[in-house]
Amino acid sequence: MIPMEAVKDAEKRIRGFIRETYLEPSPCLSDIAGTDIHLKLENLQHTGSFKLRGALNKILKIGELAATTRVIAASSGNHGAAVAYALKQIGGSGLVFVPEGASELKVATIRRFGAEVRFHGRDTTETEAEARAFAERSGGLYVSPYNDADVVAGQGTIGIEIIRQLPNVRSILVSVGGGGLIAGIATYIKAVAPHVEIIGCSPENSRAMAASVVAGRVIDVEHKPTLSDGTAGGLEPDTMTFEPCRRLVDHWIDVSEADIAHAMKLFLDHHRMVAEGAAGVAIAAACKADRQRIPGPAVVIICGGNAGTSILKGIL
């Protein structure tokens, strides 16, 4: 469990480097859910994803070490782009391991921000293990996409913005992969507004954290293909995000691949923006739930917008 003060410190550290993203009302989702829904548009962040917050907090906090030591990361795409962007701000260099079959758009974005990319493994669990091992062998500095207190604190800065933008918020829906985003947000929100419900949203095809919470420990689960590549894959056995998810998340909603595709199309049709699959998970959960499960005003985190044209063609 990280202290709430760590999130406040992170907000001060990264403030000059990120966008305070819009909180946009969604009349369409409000009608479907039967309650007042707002969208936190992290798809408009500089790298197209919330991941920039955690990566910046980590890189800026360690400063000179990150600038003089090769930084190693593992990512399905968005964390890698965020690390590359953060390193660019301080003149550092990075190497990002991604799984085979990673989004071409996300890989291109990592390279555009100046980091090297290597492919390893078919699952992010394999990719993360290789990245950690390579960092140890080479003397590099490994930056986890979720299993790191500074990264989690950076993601939690979204909670600070939500309270500032919508003080009477009653519930927050968050897509969950490794759990860094929901752990950070919940850490801050439960400290300042414990009545606010935190709702974890998972694709049925890859729900490692939700299953682990039910089991009471981190477990391996079967992972099937999912549009939500940003939340896909297993968990590191010692992940620090497990306890915040177990203690602070009020309930969980699972959604199907058809639900996710429909949600992505709905967001495009009604908000004229692209949501990647991971963001579609939270949108789909809002569509699937009712006002008893998501009291309003509710906030849905649109965690990223980095969906390639091949994915979009498939849902349209």
Domain boundary among 120, 146, 172: 146
**Mean pLDDT on 85-104:** 93
Percent of the chain with pLDDT over 70: 99
Phi-psi region of 216 (alpha: psi -120 to 50; beta: other; left: phi over 0): left
**How many whole angstroms separate alpha carbon 83 and alpha carbon 65?**
14
- Indicate if the pLDDT at residue 269 is higher than 70: yes
Count how many Cα atoms sit within 13 Å of the Cα of residue 7 in the half-sphere of its side chain: 25
> Do residue 123 and residue 236 come from a single domain?
no
Number of separate domains in the chain: 2
Indicate which CATH number applies to the domain containing 55.
3.40.50.1100
> Do residue 97 and residue 243 come from a single domain?
no
> Do residue 64 and residue 45 come from a single domain?
no
Residue 192 is which amino acid? V
- Indicate if the pLDDT at residue 289 is higher than 80: no
- Indicate if the pLDDT at residue 293 is higher than 80: no
pLDDT value, residue 307:
87
> Do residue 211 and residue 303 come from a single domain?
yes
- Indicate if the pLDDT at residue 70 is higher than 70: yes
> Do residue 298 and residue 177 come from a single domain?
yes
pLDDT value, residue 290:
66
Domain boundary among 146, 180, 198: 146
Strands, E assignment, 30-187 = 37-41, 71-74, 94-98, 116-119, 141-143, 171-175
pLDDT value, residue 292:
62
Classify the C-alpha dihedral 170-179-47-77 as positive or negative. Answer: negative
User: Per-residue b/e over 200-229, b at no fewer than 16 CB within 10 Å?
Assistant: bbbbebbbbbbbbbeeeebeeeebeebbbb
297 prior amide bond cis, ω within 30 = yes
What's the whole-number average pLDDT of the chain? 94
pLDDT value, residue 18:
97
**How many whole angstroms separate alpha carbon 255 and alpha carbon 260?**
7
> Do residue 93 and residue 184 come from a single domain?
no
User: Per-residue b/e over 161-182, b at no fewer than 16 CB within 10 Å?
Assistant: bbbeebeebbbbbbbbbbbbbb
pTM attached to this predicted model: 0.95
Tokens of 224: 């099937």
> Do residue 55 and residue 95 come from a single domain?
yes
Q: Report whether 203 contacts 223 (CB < 8 A).
A: no
pLDDT value, residue 212:
96
| Helix H or strand E encompassing 267 | helix 257-271
- Indicate if the pLDDT at residue 223 is higher than 70: yes
> Do residue 92 and residue 240 come from a single domain?
no
Segments forming the whole domain that contains residue 122 = 51-146
Note the pLDDT tens digit of each residue in 125-139.
Answer: 899 999 999 999 999
Percent of the chain with pLDDT over 90: 86
Q: How far is CA 35 from the centre of its chain?
A: 24
> Do residue 106 and residue 211 come from a single domain?
no
pLDDT value, residue 291:
60
> Do residue 25 and residue 97 come from a single domain?
no
Domain boundary among 126, 146, 166: 146
> Do residue 225 and residue 245 come from a single domain?
yes
